[in-house]
């Protein structure tokens, strides 16, 4: 029960380092295949045999690392969490003001949606299959990230005075999660970048200080931030 996942339990002739590296490579191959599968199918539709096929690992190797479809899905959500945390750290490291940092997070989200991990994790959490703790994670995480950024923005007088940072962050969480499911349902995500662009133009127009807004618009606004994601027909066309 308390035995850790690594090193793998099967003893072999190789030194521990090699065994561990091989096990990690197998686990990564399974997770990459699972992310592809959950990105293109709902949890309900996703199939373990297709994950096996994509990953080119044996059934035995898969069950060595994961006990069930649910445990694979949870590991994909863990991957998404690492990816999102790294994304926020990177955006904060750019030295931009808090509102521009927020728009950069939005850009990096679109970049990450070109890969399967974020698409898969977001679908899995929107489906709510893992219970409130895990499925609620992205909503709580982004609520915290955007509240912190908007508190800093308010302190720097980049927001108009009547805006409440936590409330604005909730609206950002709602409009972002909703854009994903609406775009998935009506266009298989091909109109997502356009929706995100229009949503942020509208929100920033409502809450940002007029002087900040003038500068941001002079740089090209959300259109410039999202750049290559706009007007190219989304990730489906790239596949």
Residues of this chain that interact with its own copies (CB under 8 A) are 42-45, 123, 125-129, 132, 135-136, 139-140, 143, 167-168, 170-171, 173-182, 184-186, 188, 195, 198-199, 202-203, 205-207
Distance from C-alpha of 116 to C-alpha of 34, rounded to nearest angstrom: 9
In the complex with its own copies, the residue whose CB is nearer, 94 or 185, is 185
Strand partners of residue 208: 159
Distance from C-alpha of 20 to C-alpha of 185, rounded to nearest angstrom: 41
In the complex with its own copies, the residue whose CB is nearer, 21 or 206, is 206
Q: Beta-carbon neighbour count of residue 206 at 10 Å?
A: 11
What's the closest the beta carbon of residue 172 comes to its own copies, in angstroms? 9
Residues 187/206, Cβ–Cβ less than 8 Å: no
Distance from C-alpha of 168 to C-alpha of 146, rounded to nearest angstrom: 8
Residues 88/145, Cβ–Cβ less than 8 Å: yes
In the complex with its own copies, the residue whose CB is nearer, 19 or 170, is 170
What's the closest the beta carbon of residue 227 comes to its own copies, in angstroms? 19
What are phi and psi for residue 166, nearest 5 degrees?
-65, -35
Distance from C-alpha of 77 to C-alpha of 83, rounded to nearest angstrom: 10
What's the closest the beta carbon of residue 203 comes to its own copies, in angstroms? 7
Q: Could you give the angle at the alpha carbon of 78 between the alpha carbons of 95 and 182, nearest 5°?
A: 80
In the complex with its own copies, the residue whose CB is nearer, 114 or 144, is 144
What's the closest the beta carbon of residue 207 comes to its own copies, in angstroms? 7
In the complex with its own copies, the residue whose CB is nearer, 5 or 174, is 174
What's the closest the beta carbon of residue 100 comes to its own copies, in angstroms? 20
Residues in the chain: 239
Read out DSSP for 92-126?
Answer: HTT---HHHHHHHHHHHHHHHTTSHHHHHHHHHHH
In the complex with its own copies, the residue whose CB is nearer, 129 or 216, is 129
What's the closest the beta carbon of residue 196 comes to its own copies, in angstroms? 9
């Amino acid at each position: 029960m308390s035995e850790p996942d690594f090193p793998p339990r099967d003893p072999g002739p190789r030194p521990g380092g090699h065994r561990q590296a091989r096990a990690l490579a197998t686990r990564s191959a399974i997770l990459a295949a699972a992310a592809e599968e959950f990105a293109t199918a709902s949890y309900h539709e996703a199939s373990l045999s297709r994950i096996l096929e994509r990953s080119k690992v044996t059934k035995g190797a898969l069950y060595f690392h994961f006990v069930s479809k649910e445990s694979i899905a949870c590991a994909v959500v863990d991957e998404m969490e690492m990816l999102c945390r790294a994304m926020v750290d990177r955006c904060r490291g750019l030295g931009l003001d808090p509102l521009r940092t927020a728009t950069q997070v939005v850009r990096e989200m679109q970049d990450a949606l070109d890969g399967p991990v974020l698409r898969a994790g977001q679908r899995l959490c929107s489906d709510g299959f893992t219970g409130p703790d895990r499925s609620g994670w992205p909503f709580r995480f982004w609520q915290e990230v955007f509240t912190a950024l908007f508190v800093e923005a308010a302190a720097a007088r980049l927001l108009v005075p009547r805006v409440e940072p936590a409330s604005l962050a909730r609206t950002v969480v709602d409009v972002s999660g909703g854009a994903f499911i609406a775009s998935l349902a009506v266009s298989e995500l091909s109109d997502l970048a356009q929706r995100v662009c229009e949503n942020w133009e509208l929100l920033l127009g409502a809450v940002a200080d007029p002087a900040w807004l003038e500068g941001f618009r002079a740089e090209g606004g959300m259109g410039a931030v999202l750049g290559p994601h706009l007007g190219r027909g989304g990730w489906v066309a790239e596949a």
